[in-house]
Amino acid sequence: MANNKKYWVGLEELHQTEAFKEASENEFTESSLSVDEFLGETELSKTTTNRRDFLKFLGFSVTAATVAACETPVINSIPYVNKPEEITPGVPTYYASTYYDGMDFASVVVKTREGRPIFIKGNRKHGINQGTVNARINASVLGLYDGTRLNGPKVKGASAKWADVDADIKKRLQAAADGGKKIALMTGSVISPSTNQAITEFKAKYGEENVVHVSYDPVSFKGIRKANELSFGKAMIPDYDFSKAKVIVSVGADFMNNWLLHTQYVAQYSKNRNPQADWMSKHYQFEGGLSLTGSNADVRVPILPSQEGKALVALHNEVAKLAGGSSISGSTEGVPMDMVAKAAADLFQNRGKSLVIAGSNDANVQVVVNAINVLLGSYGSTISTQVETYVMQGEDADVANLVKDMNAGSVGALIIGSDINPAYSLPNVAEFKAGLKKVGLTVSFSSHADETASLCEVICPDNHYLESWNDFYPKTGHYALAQPTINKLYDTRQMQESVLRWTGNDMAYHDYIRQVWQGYTASMGNQEAFLFDDFWFNALRNGSVNITVPASDWTPALDAAAVSSAGRAITSAKASSGIEVSLYTKVGIGTGAQSPNPWLQELPDPISKVTWDNYIAMNPADVEANGFNMHLGQEWPASLAKLTVNGQELTLPVVPQPGQKRGSVSVALGYGRGAGQENIGKAAFRTEQYGGYAKDADGNKIPIGKNVYSLVGMNNGQFAYHITGASIEGTGETFPIASTQIQHTLMGRDSVVKETTFDFFKSAPKEAYNAPHELAVHEGGETIKKNVDDIDLWAAHPVKGVGHRWGMSIDLSTCIGCSACVTACHSENNVPVVGKDEVRRGRDMHWMRIDRYYSSDMDLEKGAEEGKGVIESYREMEVPTYDNPTTVFMPMMCQHCNHAPCETVCPVAATTHSNEGLNQMTYNRCIGTRYCANNCPFKVRRFNWFNYKAYDKFADVNPAQDAMARMVLNPDVTVRSRGVMEKCSMCVQRIQAGKLDAKMKGQPVEDGSVETACAEACPTNAITFGDLNDTDSAVYAGENDKRAYHALAEVGVKPNISYKVKVRNA
């Protein structure tokens, strides 16, 4: 019906007039060809190009033009065909594992996202380190994604197949054994029961008499083992318990950084650093260079490294005097007797609860230490007589003998572990290299063609530890497991598996470990209803397991003759002439195994704050006397000096280091890797100002820093790290140094850092050591003094008592400045690495930094007393105490102010306050005026000066520019673009995740369930994070503690982060 209706536009149409017809025909025709005619045109259809082809051509050409016009970024993303059960995209998975590289041991938890490990944290629930990790362990995850790792075995530099390599090696090993030549297995300290088992099998296969296993530690502690043999007839290292020690005297032992099982000691030590507990430990440190441990000591006494032994003899005699024991004869001239006597008195007063340790690798020195500990009754208390420590098994003499044998041609095969790099770290590298040429078969397990591996015939690259199974037995009764957290990225094979293959054992290493463990547990007899699977999975889940081992108690029966002969050796040593050099390992780079890791290179040294270099640390007074540059900064380079030791010459920059004993210098080991142009990592070499590697005159890449392992001496069969008789001479040249801090003193600003002594803290009221900043205000017609925290110029953000208010409490007393938080923040928040040149220009990007201040001899009051003007006083306050400054560390990050000065000044409101008290940075909105950074009193904002993720300058330093290393980026955190401001977000991604988690569980966010990366990484729990609105939370207690204060309170910015007054037990 409806279709029958017809509508006309007008009567003309209805009547179909002539005029209308004509008009309608011409209505749309402008050309002579009407539509019908056009479509009916047969000529067109005769062409070979039909319409469809035309459209195809059009499409292709447009696409081609588009493709040619722009370079499309290729992003490889491969979706799961079947979703793995345990992986949910966006939800992290955690695995308990263990880190061990010969220097650091720690039970860790590995965070993986979509199958990629991206973050390492300490395992707080299990393991001897109680959650302690350091910067090196934290940063180790980056090594997994190192694109310069070898992909598959190499024979003489050429790629090979595993099967061929195995067959060849097996044949040649057998030939070597048959030929009566030695097969040497050179590894780091092996603390893995299964590895040891595999080595035993290997020995069995090729003949016990033919195979030697040489343990080699680049930084050796053989002296302690040897001393225990001399003292007690037992070559071992006992377990130390710092948590029981009320008085700790360390002579040159950097037990917070590198001394034995330091991850355990840090956790124990920090327990007794709370001034609000019943007691607080007292820590004496006698040392030459200012170490991390020394900077945390309550009393630090600078001594020459060569005096360590004498100081201990003196200490022994002082303690003996008090204890009524016999003293060691001999001169202890030059030792600061007053401090020794004080330490001895404190030790003796707390006998049985005190501990003396030494860092020296000289057995004689350690024998005296043992004697003191016996006098003090430390054995059975702070030093275990039941538990042994198995790390650091290096046999320096064996290493020396091996090198001799190699040169003698008696070694038929040399197999070098992946954890050592002797061609880099041996002092007698030349001999080693010469010997290597005389060895029939040389095999390296190194993951890189590094200094050693590149000289070996065969390289059988080992897995990264995050790809490996492993087990560890760091100390008696404690087993730890490492499990793979990702499939192998390259065609590598685990070292142990390789060894097993060569013995003809085809078992997977995982099964092998299980088998070994099964054997162990069976032998322990502790098997009532013992289900191995339960035991195994429990151990795997926890990462470690403690087993009661039948006690093998021993009594410390001291060999008095050993003590007196050691004392004689020490006291009769000639007084040193010339300058003393002490070689140490840095917090970041350690022994150098991870030196191509850009996170660690960029990590400022906790003490000197220097990045990307090693240097001669020299007392400023000596620097001045030598006429070297005193002030280092962007355009103030360091002087280069030639260090001559035993005929060897090394040119290094000189960095003035307050606290360094005059007459001695310290130089860090672990630098100068890749000097032979080995491909050990992108970030291993110096880069130019506009990108690319710096090249020397021969066109070679220049390593970062200098290798000083060649200076390591040999003393009674042990490596010696203190060398005397050096000389230093300026070359007249300069060298830029990149330091993140150029002002080293606090300038008397006690509203930044507050500190007091333990005695004063105990006796004085809060106002005396933590006086609130008060301002005069008018109220009710009267002028009254009011705490600045209670004064508001304008309405506060309504965050107090409403919902969450995230905050932090940072205890300056327990912060040891180790900088684990810095690398943790780096890896959690995808902080760019900017390289040396940019750090030198004051553009490091760390969201979290540790400010380090030295004390100064001057303050305004003293200056006034001495009749000095303010200007002069201030100028002198800029200069730290040269000889023995006290050091304070202050972790500094965005303070999340409730009256944030940055928020008001941003013209586009890119930085705002959240209703949970966070100061938020909206990168998308930021236009980069940098006004916020200028107006930040704490200077914690970081600007993206360049496009760090693409600009050439950073191609070789920033992991985000490497296709492989990019995988380490945390997918929860944006990689910032050029021109935007960034800063600490208080790990807002973790807060969100925590809130979501609580919401799903239907319960409030539990205190401690959300932790920032820095708080999580802090080995001493100096950083507490939580909800300030939760009155039961730890952070609330911290904020309301009597030691709590807000940094720069008088500025009135009302931070959500509070600090706790540093208390020294001085």
**Residue placing its CB nearer to other proteins in the complex, 280 or 746:** 746
List Cα–Cα distances, 1007 to 132, 669, 1010, in angstroms.
20, 42, 7
Nearer to other proteins, 437 or 875 (CB): 875
Q: How far is the CB of 330 from other proteins (least distance, A)?
A: 45
Nearer to other proteins, 922 or 989 (CB): 922
Q: How far is CA 489 from the centre of its chain?
A: 23
* Residues 6+ positions from 87 with CB-CB distance below 8 Å: 80, 93, 114, 115
Distance CA 663, CA 580 (A): 6
CB of 627 to other proteins, least distance (A): 21
- Distance of closest approach, residue 882 Cβ to other proteins, in angstroms: 18
List CB contacts of 16: < 8 A, sequence separation 6 or more. Answer: none
CB 855, min distance to other proteins, A: 13
Report the C-alpha gap between 350 and 368 in whole angstroms.
19
Burial 346-359 (b: 16+ CB within 10 A, else e): bbbebbebbbbbbb
User: Can you read off the two tokens belonging to residue 812?
Assistant: 């300056």
The smaller minimum CB distance to other proteins, of residues 376 and 910, is found at: 910
For residue 24, what are the contacts with CB-CB under 8 A and spacing of at least 6? 13
Q: How far is the CB of 524 from other proteins (least distance, A)?
A: 53
Taking the complex as a whole, the smallest distance from the CB of residue 6 to other proteins amounts, in Å, to 47
Closest approach of other proteins to the CB of residue 931, in Å = 6
Pull the structure tokens for residue 607: 């003490």
Give Cα separations from 693 to 550, 601, 965 (angstroms).
Answer: 57, 16, 19
> How many other C-beta atoms are found inside a 10 Å radius of the C-beta of residue 1044?
18
Please say which residue, 662 or 978, places its beta carbon nearer to other proteins: 978
Which residues 6+ apart lie within 8 Å of 15 measured at CB?
none
Closest CA relative to residue 361, chosen from 217, 255, 224: 224
Residue count of the chain: 1066
Instruction: Give the residue with the Cβ less far from other proteins, 165 or 738.
Output: 738
Nearer Cβ to other proteins (326/974): 974
Name which of 554 and 923 has its Cβ closer to other proteins: 923
Phi-psi region of 609 (alpha: psi -120 to 50; beta: other; left: phi over 0): left
CB of 827 to other proteins, least distance (A): 20
- In whole angstroms, the minimum distance from the beta carbon of 861 to other proteins comes to 13
Nearest approach, Cβ of 944 to other proteins (angstroms)?
7
Quote the CA–CA distance of 982 and 941 in Å, as a whole number: 6
Q: What are phi and psi of 740, to 5 degrees?
A: -85, -5
Q: Do 407 and 435 form a contact (C-beta atoms < 8 A)?
A: yes
Instruction: Say how far apart CA 984 and CA 990 lie, in whole Å.
Output: 13
Instruction: Give the residue among 139, 148, 103 at the shortest CA–CA distance from 118.
Output: 139
Bridge partners of residue 811, in order along the sequence: 1060
In this complex, which beta carbon is closest to other proteins, that of residue 149 or of residue 609? Answer: 609
Q: Determine phi and psi for 603, rounding to 5 degrees.
A: -70, 120
The DSSP letter of residue 9 is: S
Structure tokens that stand for 374 in this block: 């016996």
User: Minimal distance in Å, beta carbon 657 to other proteins?
Assistant: 17
Minimum CB–partner distance for residue 803 and other proteins (Å): 22
Give yes or no for a contact between 152 and 491, defined as CB atoms under 8 angstroms apart: yes
- Residue 49 or 934: which CB sits closer to other proteins? 934
- Shortest Cβ distance from residue 955 to other proteins (Å)? 14
Contact between 261 and 387 under an 8 Å Cβ cutoff? The reply is: no
The burial of 337, by beta-carbon neighbours within 10 Å (0-12 exposed, 13-18 middle, 19 or more buried), is given as middle
Residue 630 or 747 with smaller CB distance to other proteins: 747
Greatest Cα pair distance, the chain, in angstroms, is: 139
Between 499 and 1047, whose beta carbon lies closer to other proteins? 1047
What single-letter amino acid sits at 834?
A: V
CA distance 215 to 226: 15
DSSP 428-441: THHHHHHHHHTSSE
Smaller CB separation from other proteins, 280 or 1048:
1048
Q: What is the DSSP letter of 71?
A: -
State in angstroms the smallest separation of the CB of 895 from other proteins: 11
Residue 75 makes CB contacts below 8 A (sequence gap 6+) with none
Cβ closest to other proteins, residue 399 vs residue 932: 932
Based on CB atoms, which residue is closest to other proteins, 117 or 1055? 1055
> Whole-angstrom Cα distance, residue 841 to residue 779?
48
Residue 1002 and residue 1021: Cα distance in Å, rounded?
29
Residue 386 exposed, middle or buried by CB count within 10 Å (0-12, 13-18, 19+) = middle
Q: Which is nearer to other proteins, 725 or 901 (CB)?
A: 901
Q: What is the smallest separation between the CB atom of 733 and other proteins, expressed in angstroms?
A: 20
CA angle 458, 464, 467 (to 5 degrees): 120
Nearer of residues 1 and 776 to other proteins, judged by Cβ: 776
The nearest distance, CB 914 to other proteins, in angstroms, is 16
Category of 663 on φ-ψ map: left (φ > 0), alpha (ψ -120 to 50) or beta: left
| CA–CA gap between residue 324 and residue 338 (Å, rounded) | 19
Nearer to other proteins among residue 334 and residue 928 (C-beta): 928
Applying CB under 8 A, the residues found at the interface with other proteins are: 633-635, 741-743, 745-749, 751-752, 838, 841-844, 849, 851-853, 870-871, 874-875, 890, 892, 901, 904-909, 925-931, 933-935, 937-939, 941-947, 951, 977-981, 1047-1048, 1050-1051, 1053
**Minimal distance in Å, beta carbon 945 to other proteins?**
3
> Is residue 98 within 8 Å of residue 253, measured between CB atoms?
no
- Please state the closest distance from residue 374 (CB atom) to other proteins, in A: 44
